[in-house]
């Protein structure tokens, strides 16, 4: 690939994109993979600890859905924007190092909490810390690996995510059960419960990994794509400006500073009004179908359904603020993003699939314990190892396969892999979650898990090939914002809500799979036009081909 690129940082540069992996590429991939694994470990450990936490804190499935998804999601999504912008201009290894230190410390704090409010605050800080994982990690690894190997790269990262997911169940369940068996209530050192000890154990590896990432070499940005990237002279100021521009409340001051027109301000205010009405309506529906006692935050108490939809409303407003801010401050990025129907549909597909995945992941351990009378350690070891194995093997098969199909069928190869994975897996879920015995469940889950892992590598490769190298951190942040608020933030809550309302967790887990219908429609459209939109990238960017 040749590119003739003009930018403000210097003269035109035309060069051949490399076909070989950059020096240190495998080492960087290993570190970024471990970062993804630890991110999922610290994030998902809540799922296996949910029964013990519910018993100690006297809360229900809806509140656990809030902890697992909503509370984490808002700050994870909000801070992914400024750190994504920072990843586009600063040293990405050091950004990841600082982020790991923050979320590891927050996970350790969860091991010292004894109230819902403190646990929610800990999850909030974990969300802030983990916000840099995907924007900085993806941006960095793409500058080590050539385009034709990125399906494999995304497969390795997806396998690492599966390792973290399975590891969270094994480590969390075994650590909590071992501690609880060794120290009956009231006799443990510092009066720690088993679930608190598990949080402390999970926090430890992050402090070690942070040291290695701090020393990771920064690759030349854009070299693997044959596209030069200008140096950002003020990455921290740009990052803080973006945070102010998207944070609800502060965004109005940002609009005033950039002298936004009356039409932009009116549109923003209309969105706020519509969100207030919509979120109030959804809060009443939730309270009517699953009434829950108020959650206490010191002297302040709030209905859990109001908290859920307040957070979602704030997240949706943040998305609107981000798009308006990009349009005003970086017209080229806005043209590239808004001008690709494939990119928009890929974000929607990833969001819908994440609602399914996070809804299932949040309650799978609880389902096994309730349905098959398994102990915490049994569910952790059996399901944790199984999900890790299928999650590791699956992407390593699907990722290289998507690369080969992409080379043979550039217009639809990757999209067809994702379509098969996301279209067929919900049908298999009906078979999996109606198993009569745990052995039947595990056997069926092998086929289901291997098939489900096929969607992420090809979809992410499609997504990031739709933008310029300098925009990958921003694109990852936009995707994370939408996916986290409407996927992670809604999926676990809906499953918990249906479970509380019906008393049937199996039904709740099956219901979330109906989201697959629009996914299939969108993936068919992506398969038909992704190559066309990728070919128009430089045109959308206003640069000569």
Most confident among 45-49, 106-110, 305-309 (mean pLDDT): 106-110
Question: According to the model, what pLDDT value does residue 344 have?
Answer: 92
pLDDT of residue 431: 94
Tokens found for residue 522: 């969108």
27-41, 103-117, 364-378 — most confident range: 27-41
> What is d(CA 379, CA 146) in angstroms, rounded to the nearest whole number?
40
Task: Indicate if the pLDDT at residue 432 is higher than 90.
Answer: yes
The reported pLDDT for the residue numbered 2 is 38
**For the CA atoms of the chain, what is the radius of gyration?**
23
Buried b (16+ CB within 10 A) or exposed e, 159-181: bbbbbbbbbbbbbbbbbbbebbe
pLDDT of residue 330: 81
Backbone angles phi, psi at 5, to 5 degrees: -120, 135
Q: How confident is the model at residue 271 (pLDDT cuts 50, 70, 90)?
A: very high
Cα–Cα distances (Å) from 360 to 69, 223, 506, 508, in that order, read 12, 39, 10, 9
Residue entry with tokens 């999504």:
77
pLDDT value at residue 352: 95
pLDDT greater than 50 at residue 12: no
How far apart, in whole angstroms, are the C-alpha atoms of residue 393 and residue 389?
Answer: 6
Highest mean pLDDT among 15-29, 52-66, 236-250: 236-250
Least confident of 14-18, 55-59, 270-274, 460-464: 14-18
pLDDT over 60 at 14, yes or no: no
Q: Which range has highest mean pLDDT (19-33, 136-150, 395-409)?
A: 19-33
Pairwise CA distance, residues 488 & 352, whole Å: 9
Interval 211-227: pLDDT, tens: 999 988 888 776 666 66
- Contact (Cβ atoms closer than 8 angstroms) between residue 356 and residue 491: yes
Phi, psi for 544 (deg, rounded to 5): -70, 145
Band the pLDDT of 315: cuts 50, 70, 90.
Answer: confident
SS (H, E, C) 252-309: HHHHHHCCCCHHHHHHHHHHHHHHHHHHHHHHHHHHHHCCCCCEEECCEEECHHHHHH
Gap between the Cα atoms of 210 and 165, Å rounded: 20
* Residue 413: per-residue pLDDT: 77
What's the CA gap between 354 and 349, in Å, rounded? Answer: 8
Q: Write down the pLDDT at residue 230.
A: 66
d(CA 416, CA 295): 45
Q: Phi and psi (nearest 5°) for 2?
A: -110, 145
DSSP letter assigned to residue 488: I
Could you tell me the end-to-end alpha-carbon distance of the chain, in angstroms, rounded to an integer? 11
Q: Write b or e for each residue in 31-41: b if 16 or more Cβ atoms lie within 10 A of its Cβ, otherwise e.
A: bbbbbbbbbbb
**What would the mean pLDDT of 355-382 be, rounded to a whole number?**
85
Percent of the chain whose predicted confidence (pLDDT) is above 90: 17
The pLDDT-based confidence of 298 (bands split at 50, 70, 90) is: low
Structure tokens at 500: 């509380």
pLDDT of 386 over the 60 cut? yes
> Rounded CA gap, 28 and 433, in Å?
38
Q: What share of the chain is helix, strand, coil (3-state, %, to 5)?
A: 80, 5, 20
pLDDT mean over 251-268: 85
Give yes or no for residue 8 having a pLDDT over 70.
no
- The beta-carbon contacts of 377-382 under 8 Å, at least 24 apart in sequence, are 377/173, 377/174, 377/177, 377/178, 379/48, 379/169, 379/173, 380/48, 380/169, 380/170, 380/172, 380/173, 380/174, 380/177, 381/170, 381/173, 381/174, 382/438, 382/442
Pairing status of strand 2-7 against strand 295-297: unpaired
pLDDT in tens, 124-162: 888 888 888 877 888 888 888 777 776 778 778 877 887
Beta strands in 126-228 (DSSP E): none
Give me the percent of the chain exceeding a pLDDT of 70: 89
Task: Pick the range with the lowest mean pLDDT from 181-190, 437-446, 447-456.
Answer: 181-190
Examine the pLDDT at 252 and tell me if it is beyond 70.
Answer: yes
Tokens describing residue 304:
């859990």
Closest among 163, 198, 66 to 123, alpha carbons compared: 66
4 has a pLDDT exceeding 60: no
Residue 101 in this model has a pLDDT that exceeds 90? yes
For each of the domains in the chain, give its residue range(s) and CATH number, in order of start: 16-224+232-540 (1.20.1250.20)
The span from the CA of 178 to the CA of 306, in Å, is 37
Q: At 541, list the tokens.
A: 């960017």
CA distances from 27 to 22, 94, 97, 161 (A): 10, 15, 15, 17
Apex CA 84: angle with CA 332 and CA 395, to 5°?
A: 105
Q: What is the DSSP letter of 16?
A: E
Determine the average pLDDT of the residues in 96-121. 86
Mean pLDDT (whole number) for 536-545: 75
Q: What is the pLDDT of residue 390?
A: 84
Q: Check residue 219 and report its DSSP letter.
A: P
- What was the pLDDT predicted at 440? 93
**Phi, psi angle pair for 302, to nearest 5°:** -145, 145
pLDDT value of residue 9: 38
Q: What pLDDT does 443 receive?
A: 93
- pLDDT of 231 over the 60 cut: yes
């Amino acid at each position: 690939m040749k590119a003739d690129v003009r930018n403000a940082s210097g003269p035109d540069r035309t060069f051949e994109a490399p076909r070989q992996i950059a020096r240190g590429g495998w080492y960087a991939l290993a570190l970024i993979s471990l970062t993804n694994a630890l991110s999922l470990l610290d994030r998902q450990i809540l799922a296996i600890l949910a029964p013990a936490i519910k018993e100690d804190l006297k809360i229900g499935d809806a509140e656990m859905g809030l902890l697992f998804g909503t509370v984490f999601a808002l700050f994870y999504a909000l801070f992914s924007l400024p750190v994504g912008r920072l990843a586009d201009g600063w040293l990405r290894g050091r950004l990841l190092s600082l982020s790991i230190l923050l979320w590891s410390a927050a996970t350790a704090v969860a091991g010292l909490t004894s109230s819902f409010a403190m646990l929610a605050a800990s999850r909030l800080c974990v969300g802030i810390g983990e916000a840099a994982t995907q924007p900085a990690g993806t941006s960095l690894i793409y500058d080590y690996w050539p385009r034709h190997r990125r399906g494999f790269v995304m497969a390795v990262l997806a396998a690492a995510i599966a390792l973290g997911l399975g590891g969270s169940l094994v480590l969390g369940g075994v650590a909590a059960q071992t501690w609880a068996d060794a120290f009956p209530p009231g006799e443990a050192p510092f009066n720690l419960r088993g679930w608190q000890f598990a949080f402390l154990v999970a926090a430890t590896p992050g402090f070690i990994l942070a040291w290695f990432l701090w020393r990771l070499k920064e690759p030349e940005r854009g070299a693997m794509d044959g596209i030069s990237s200008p140096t950002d002279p003020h990455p921290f100021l740009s990052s803080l400006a973006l945070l102010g521009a998207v944070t609800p409340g502060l965004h109005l001051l940002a609009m005033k500073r950039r002298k936004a027109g009356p039409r932009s301000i009116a549109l923003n205010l209309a969105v706020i009004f519509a969100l207030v009405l919509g979120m109030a309506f959804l809060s009443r529906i939730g309270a009517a179908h699953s009434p829950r006692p108020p959650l206490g935050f010191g002297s302040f108490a709030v209905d859990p359904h109001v908290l859920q939809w307040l957070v979602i409303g704030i997240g949706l407003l943040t998305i609107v603020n981000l798009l308006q801010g990009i349009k005003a401050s970086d017209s080229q990025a806005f043209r590239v993003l808004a001008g690709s129907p494939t990119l928009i549909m890929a974000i929607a597909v990833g969001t819908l699939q994440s609602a399914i995945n996070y809804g299932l992941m949040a309650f799978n351990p609880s389902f096994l314990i309730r349905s098959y009378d398994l102990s915490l350690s049994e569910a952790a070891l059996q399901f944790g190892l199984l999900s890790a194995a299928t999650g590791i093997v699956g992407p390593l098969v699907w990722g290289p396969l998507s690369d080969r199909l992409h080379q043979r069928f550039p217009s639809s190869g990757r999209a067809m892999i994702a379509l098969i994975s996301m279209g067929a897996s919900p049908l298999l879920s009906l078979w999996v979650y109606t198993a009569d015995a745990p052995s039947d469940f595990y056997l069926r889950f092998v086929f289901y898990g291997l098939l489900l892992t096929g969607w992420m590598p090809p979809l992410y490769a499609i997504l990031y090939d739709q933008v310029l190298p300098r925009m990958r951190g921003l694109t990852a942040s936009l995707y994370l914002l939408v996916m986290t608020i409407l996927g992670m933030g809604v999926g676990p809550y809906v499953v918990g809500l249906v479970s509380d309302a019906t008393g049937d967790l199996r039904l709740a887990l099956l219901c979330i799979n109906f989201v697959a219908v629009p996914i299939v429609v969108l993936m068919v459209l992506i398969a038909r036009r992704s190559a066309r939109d990728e070919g128009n990238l430089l045109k959308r960017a206003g640069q000569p081909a």
